Chain A
């Protein structure tokens, strides 16, 4: 029986549902159901490891506890600082590299390939090998820094001042290529005639950058930063391998704290409330950001 005959009698809408049905089911099973379950749990005092103890409804107690806990706000500050610096550096360096690679020169393709290599690696692996690079005695990073400017022995991941920068540097090293690639796509979509017209109008290179390049590439850059922002808000593996959230809690991001509360302390109700708060935060920020981005695009 041909496919045509098989689907004979089915409306276009029904065929459409047939195609997206499995995806919707999967989405419901692995995304929506856990989300609803977590929301439900967030109103209870459930501990997943306390077998036989029935969860009791505690209303908003977990939410109040999370929001009133000073330590949680410290982790949120650490996360915000990590996001701010990584996004800023990735935007500047990513755009700079994209501008560089948008020019035609010998070895351009090879250089592009080399630059994107870090983002192909596993974050956990990156975390582990950067611990060696940061080793104060034999680490390449410390050697290079001391080669240019003699700081003596310094411990990037053992110092509360340097450790937050240690994770920012690694994330920037790993993910700047992503921002660069998206910006490069944006740069290559700018029609040449705009630059030709600007040349005719005797616009300087700087003016061309400000009035043509930047507005054209900005929506792409913002999109890349949205992706990176969401990812970095959830950052876990690389930082755990690199610092375990230490020293003390200097690099304990919100997601690391959430994992400890949920799967080490097994405070399921409390951590569900924390997870919901994080979800609402990122969802809210994401929506506002997309609206702003759309307005910029419309200009």
Chain B
């Protein structure tokens, strides 16, 4: 009996010692990663436990864990904006020595993703994450509706050009408003499911897709944190006004607090002709096309410039983990080109050049070319350690203007700058 107890105990100790926990958001790519990781476990014997947190609570849950120096996670796939806080507050292990020792070169990964997901200070050679999941905000549309001859001719008659992938935001508005309130197959349809969520980051991610395309810069490139005339430039104001127009003219009724899942639902239920969302969801959308629904995908349209909102994450080792060696072993395995190829095949978005530069990549899926195009033009929100403090005033002011219809776009942007100045002053940056 005692022997049995001892052997059971030693088994449990061993299994604990050979297991790590990985934290990420609960979404389609997380399931793909879980599937992929089975190979890691069979190769190394290291069990990987997953904790996937729904997006609305993801940042709260993970950042609280890090701030409390929690040991729940050994590996964390954290949002790109967290990299500053992860590095400055010492939450993430610096990976340079490990990369050198294992021969992992950052030049093997897409430069935009290395810049966005791995480095702090930005563009330096200090790496705190391995690019894990490339992503950007893009658009899906109902190709089956677009291909209907009667709709095509009606649209051309009205606007003088073909119904298809919009060349710019004006065309996007034309097309979205064309479908708004239109009856198709006996059902009332609407234009576009766009980001309007108030609580976390939704509306900011949406409106910046327009602002970047209009050419908005956060700050004076020659004088960091000088935002006046940049973030609230006439182009930026026009973009925010346009986003409100898009919301008012083209969103389905009740789409006033919507982000990823709500956009997906509106699209999948056949309510809308377009949805704004992350590339991460396109494998699912594409696979689930049924009942005559055929989806097309395109990168964020340009306006004054070609630009897209960056999503995606890098994988980091948590400083407070007692199993850093096992976590690093996972990163070493994950960085392998063959694993990266499988990652893409399963529905993850690899950032590895071997995958992205493969001749077959652009045609491997209907959204692959769009992904490549987008990753070349991505821009991200502030990645400062104080990014949450910077995000919240933007969420409030933009939601107040776009959804609530309060004030002016210029007023909203001025108010955001005012709050941001306060944050940067408190952080000693100004």
Contact = CB atoms under 8 A, between A and B. Distances in A.
A102 interface: no
Interface residues of B, number: 32
Interface in A113-138: 134-137
Contacts of B385: 50
Contact of B256 (A139, A157, A249): A157
A245 B393 CA distance: 13
A159 B253 CA distance: 11
Contacts of B271: 137
A252 B198 CA distance: 11
Given A51-B89, A153-B253, A240-B199, A246 B399 contact: yes
Contact of A245 (B69, B199, B406): B199
A247 B64 contact: no
Best-buried of A51, A245, A246, A263 by chain B (most CB within 10 Å): A246
A250 B271 CA distance: 27
A186 interface: no
A264 interface: yes
A160 B198 CA distance: 13
Residue from B60, B67, B271, B385 having most chain A Cβ neighbours under 10 A = B67
Contacts, number: 89
B400 A136 contact: no
Contacts of A136: 253-254
Nearest to B202: A244
A214 interface: no
Given A160-B406, A247-B256, A248-B198, 11 more contacts: A50-B89, A50-B385, A52-B90, A134-B254, A136-B253, A137-B252, A244-B197, A244-B198, A248-B401, A264-B388, A265-B389
A44 interface: no
Interface in B186-214: 197-199
A292 B89 CA distance: 52
B294 interface: no
Interface string B387-413: 011001000110111011110000000
B392 A264 contact: yes
Q: Is the interface of B mostly helix, strand, loop or mixed?
A: loop
Contacts of B256: 155, 157-159, 246-247
A40 B428 CA distance: 24
A248 B257 contact: no
A247 B403 CA distance: 6
Interface residues on A, range: 20 to 34
A48 interface: yes
Contacts of A155: 253-254, 256
A49 to B, nearest CB: 5
Contacts of B403: 158, 246-248
B198 A245 contact: yes
Given A136-B254, A158-B257, A247 B90 contact: no
B399 A264 contact: no
Interface string B233-274: 000000000000000000011111100000000000001000
B63 interface: yes
Contacts of A243: 198, 257
Nearest to A156: B254
A157 B257 contact: yes
Interface string A137-159: 10100000000000001010111
B145 to A, nearest CB: 19
Nearest to B188: A137
A245 B403 CA distance: 13
B98 to A, nearest CB: 23
A260 interface: yes
A137 B161 CA distance: 32
Given A155-B253, A244-B197, A265-B389, A48 B67 contact: yes
Given A247-B399, A264-B388, A264-B392, A160 B404 contact: yes
Given A240-B199, A248-B396, A248-B400, A264 B257 contact: no
B85 interface: yes
Interface of A: 45, 48-52, 134-137, 139, 153, 155, 157-160, 240, 243-250, 252, 260, 263-267
A50 B427 CA distance: 10
A160 B60 contact: no
Contacts of A49: 63, 67, 85, 89
B277 to A, nearest CB: 19
Contacts of B63: 49
Given A136-B253, A155-B254, A247 B404 contact: yes
Contacts of B253: 136-137, 153, 155
Given A153-B253, A157-B256, A260-B392, A247 B89 contact: no
25 contacts: A48-B67, A49-B85, A50-B385, A51-B69, A51-B89, A51-B90, A136-B254, A137-B271, A153-B253, A155-B253, A157-B254, A159-B256, A240-B199, A244-B197, A244-B199, A245-B198, A245-B199, A246-B198, A246-B404, A247-B257, A248-B403, A248-B404, A250-B404, A264-B60, A264-B388
Contacts of A45: 426
Nearest to B400: A248
A158 B89 CA distance: 38
Given A135-B254, A158-B257, A249 B388 contact: no
A266 B255 CA distance: 30
Nearest to A47: B426
A244 B389 CA distance: 17
B401 A246 contact: no
B257 A246 contact: yes
A139 B69 CA distance: 44
A22 to B, nearest CB: 28
A139 B60 CA distance: 30
A159 B388 CA distance: 26
Most chain A CB within a 10 A radius of its CB, from B90, B252, B403, B405: B403
A155 B255 CA distance: 9
B427 to A, nearest CB: 9
Interface string B76-94: 0000000001000110000
Given A135-B254, A244-B197, A244-B198, A249 B396 contact: yes
A84 B53 CA distance: 37
